[in-house]
Amino acid sequence: MHITDRLIEAIEAQNNPTVAGLDTRLEYIPEAFAKTFAPDGVWRFANAAEAILAYNLKLLEALRGLVPAVKVQVAYYEMYGVEGMRAFAETLRAAREMGFVTMADVKRNDIGATAQAYAMAYMGKTPMVEESAFSADYVTVNPYLGSDGIKPFLALCGEHGIFVLVKTSNPSSGELQDVAFGDGQTICERVGQLVSAWGSDIIGSHGYSAVGAVVGATYPEHGAALRKALPHTFFLVPGYGAQGATAAQLAGCFDSQGRGAIVNASRSLLLAWQKQNTQDFAQAAAQEALAMRTALREALKA
């Protein structure tokens, strides 16, 4: 099944365009839960990764049926070494088995031959071994190297998809992305056009391509302009919550039917237990996810 059709249908089944970002780090885990993995208080990569995986599994159980998709940010797993990468793989596997649409947020990029290795690692099978290393439904990629760094991923798009960085949510994203070329077009507009062209042959039955774009919620005018310019490009929208964007600010990333985007929340879910002053992090995340769903629904009605 076309991955973006699957994503759109999962969003509509739950009436919730939210992706839960599992940017889990040891510091985010309540002490009572964490200390079962380090009874002597000593953290090594192995027990840290174990605690993080266990935390993720609890969170996935709590978010099942409430949030259609899960995004796993690999940086927070690479930080815990080889054992962290095992927790990353196991988190993706568990999320897939529980029916979530999965996204590996890896922002990979390289020249063609090397991009091919990344594409196989996250979307395909490794030659000779014929197994999947870190399989995810979607992978994020960085466009700085141009088309031939993207093509190996495109070749595997259809049942899998990619989100290409177009306009990122961070404060300095405009340093390069907003600068105008001689013809007045900005880099992020130019990249948006490329993304649309790369995905033009892989459009699903709901009108959206398997090649999507990352568009930060923290820049509402960019979101609305890109939405208009790229009618077949699905948006992954980071920046909600901890990064400062509100539901109203990101409504422009959606189309007139309330489709076309999925909004990521990471820290606001992972740290909901602190805000709610409870040790039950899974229940707290579910409550926060419910509040976010309500906020998004209201913003999309308006």
Nearer to its own copies by Cβ, of 55 and 208: the residue is 55
Question: Phi/psi of residue 277, each to 5°?
Answer: 55, 55
Nearer to its own copies by Cβ, of 1 and 82: the residue is 82
Tell whether residue 210 is a contact of its own copies (CB under 8 A): no
Distance of closest approach, residue 216 Cβ to its own copies, in angstroms: 9
Task: Name residues contacting its own copies, limited to 8-47 (CB under 8 A).
Answer: 23, 25-27, 43-45
Count interface residues toward its own copies (CB under 8 A): 69
Tell whether residue 246 is a contact of its own copies (CB under 8 A): no
107, 151, 228, 301: the active-site residue: 107
Cα separations in angstroms, 233 against 112, 145, 156, 203, 211? 23, 20, 17, 9, 7
The two three-digit tokens of residue 168, written as one number: 């990122």
Tell whether residue 229 is a contact of its own copies (CB under 8 A): no
CA nearest to 54, candidates 96, 104, 91, 107: 91
Tell whether residue 289 is a contact of its own copies (CB under 8 A): no
DSSP state of 135: -
Tell whether residue 264 is a contact of its own copies (CB under 8 A): no
How far is the C-alpha of 103 from the C-alpha of 101, rounded, in Å?
7
Nearer to its own copies by Cβ, of 39 and 182: the residue is 182
Asked if residue 156 lies in contact with residue 124, where contact means CB atoms within 8 angstroms, the answer is yes
Nearer to its own copies by Cβ, of 130 and 221: the residue is 130
Tell whether residue 147 is a contact of its own copies (CB under 8 A): yes
Q: Return the residue matching tokens 């939405």.
A: 227
For its own copies, the binding residue among 18, 109, 268, 287 (CB under 8 A) is 109
Quick check: is 35 catalytic?
Answer: no
The two three-digit tokens of residue 157, written as one number: 């798009």
For its own copies, the binding residue among 32, 65, 144, 201 (CB under 8 A) is 144
Provide the residue count of the chain: 302
CA nearest to 259, candidates 9, 2, 28, 3: 9
Tell whether residue 149 is a contact of its own copies (CB under 8 A): yes
Cα separations in angstroms, 47 against 38, 44, 82, 96, 115? 7, 6, 12, 24, 32
Distance of closest approach, residue 122 Cβ to its own copies, in angstroms: 8
Angle between helices 112-123 and 147-154 (to 10 degrees): 30
Tell whether residue 126 is a contact of its own copies (CB under 8 A): yes
**Element (H or E) spanning 56, and its range?**
helix 45-63
Tell whether residue 191 is a contact of its own copies (CB under 8 A): yes
Q: Which residues bind its own copies (CB under 8 A)?
A: 23, 25-27, 43-45, 48, 73, 75-76, 78-82, 84-86, 89, 107-112, 114-115, 117-118, 120-121, 126-129, 131, 133-134, 142-149, 165, 168-177, 179-182, 184, 187, 190-191, 194, 238, 243
Which residues carry out catalysis? 107
